[in-house]
Chains A and B, each alone.
Chain A
Amino acid sequence: MKPIVVGSLESSDCLITLTPSKTTTITIESIVYDAFGDAIEQVIKQTLKHHGLHDVHVYVQDKGALDYAIEARLTSAIKRYRSEADES
């Protein structure tokens, strides 16, 4: 299965890449990591939990996206990931 890539590297946005993984792993690169790294990680964990997803690697390249945008981008990525997984 190909990685799922969603979002953009524009200011206030983020690019999220999902790849299959045995367990949940999260990598965050953010221009606001020092100030908001924990908050970003929390949104990602909550969103994964909400969708009951436990077997992906989440790679976030963040350009200062607010929580709602990270949540929406990840939700979109998860939907695509699921439909790709169903097809294959």
Chain B
Amino acid sequence: MSRSYLFIPGDVPRMLQNLDVFDADSIIIDFEDSVAIDQKDEARLLTQAFLSKHHFKELDLYIRVNDVSQKTLFEADMQAIKALNIHGIVLPKVTLEALDSVDAFFDRENITFPIIGIIETPLAVLEAQTIAKHKRIQGLLLGAEDLTKDLGTTRTLDAEEILFARSQIVFAAKAYQKEAIDTPYVFVRDEAGLAVDAQRAARLGFTAKASIHPNHVETIHHYFSPSKEAIHEAKRIVAQSKKLNSMRFSLDGSMVDKPVIDRAKALLKRAEKYGVLS
């Protein structure tokens, strides 16, 4: 479970070799939109060469491949990365149909990478539930820029135009215990706007937010880390459970049972991982 997914272009050595200094929980090395069509092979070769030499324990690495409708690109991407030590792939323009093709390809090639699907078409928003349910899917990532183009509307800070998509993704993901990852905020220098956008997504129930600039990671972590209050509450629950040696007790008048205690423990584990425990 990550709070931040940072996109890094796959064909820019300066960014690639610094991917571990930006403090993101997860990195998505991009072969798709940020790589020009005549640079695709360069991105594959650079990423291959880099990840064969350097390994990252603390960091979850993903690669955004080209979408499966571009068969040649997609298959060349997969051939280039299937032996790499990465956590999974990010699949653009996901739909049920696309997922079926990928599924068949993965079966044939014996590939087991988990998939984060980018929901960026109206059809995908409608299919979100079934996509989320798919066994290979680890999470859903909203791609609001492409989606609003298809909707014939424009992106605003208010984000009314993507409210339905956001909620649909959160419901679909949560229904199947998958990750719900919010769309990147594309105005790189607008830190105030980023804060508003991130806070809104966190409130809607997203577990993480993607970003296209390293300088956004700190703000994203601020809104997607367990809050001080939540940590304090979780600590009390765990402590009380230990003290009473019980998995079922009352605290401040509300009932605490095993799922609550497990959730509290999971929250503390995450808080520790993110360095926000104290």
Q: Which residues of A contact B (CB under 8 A)?
A: 6-7, 10-13, 65-69, 71-73, 75-76, 79
Contact = CB atoms under 8 A, between A and B. Distances in A.
A12 B41 CA distance: 19
Interface in B13-66: 13-14, 17, 41-42, 45-46, 48-50, 52-54
A13 B48 contact: no
A11 B15 CA distance: 10
A71 B49 contact: yes
Given A10-B12, A11-B14, A13-B14, A68 B49 contact: yes
B42 A10 contact: no
**In the complex, the 8 A-B pairs of residues with the closest C-beta atoms, listed nearest first:** A72-B45, A68-B49, A72-B49, A12-B14, A69-B13, A72-B46, A12-B13, A68-B50
Contacts of B45: 72-73, 75-76
B41 A79 contact: yes
Contacts of B50: 68-69, 72
Given A72-B45, A72-B48, A73-B42, A66 B14 contact: no
A31 to B, nearest CB: 14
Contacts of B49: 68-69, 71-72, 75
Given A73-B42, A76-B45, A79-B41, A68 B53 contact: yes
Nearest to A65: B13
Contacts of A68: 17, 46, 49-50, 52-54
A13 B42 contact: no
A68 B52 CA distance: 9
24 contacts: A10-B13, A10-B14, A11-B14, A12-B14, A13-B13, A65-B13, A68-B17, A68-B46, A68-B50, A68-B53, A68-B54, A69-B13, A69-B46, A69-B50, A71-B49, A72-B42, A72-B46, A72-B48, A73-B42, A73-B46, A75-B49, A76-B42, A76-B45, A79-B41
Nearest to A10: B14
A76 B76 CA distance: 14
Contacts of A6: 42
A31 B266 CA distance: 50
A81 B179 CA distance: 44
A10 B12 CA distance: 9
Nearest to B53: A68
Nearest to A68: B49
Contacts of B46: 68-69, 72-73
Given A68-B50, A69-B46, A71-B49, A76 B17 contact: no
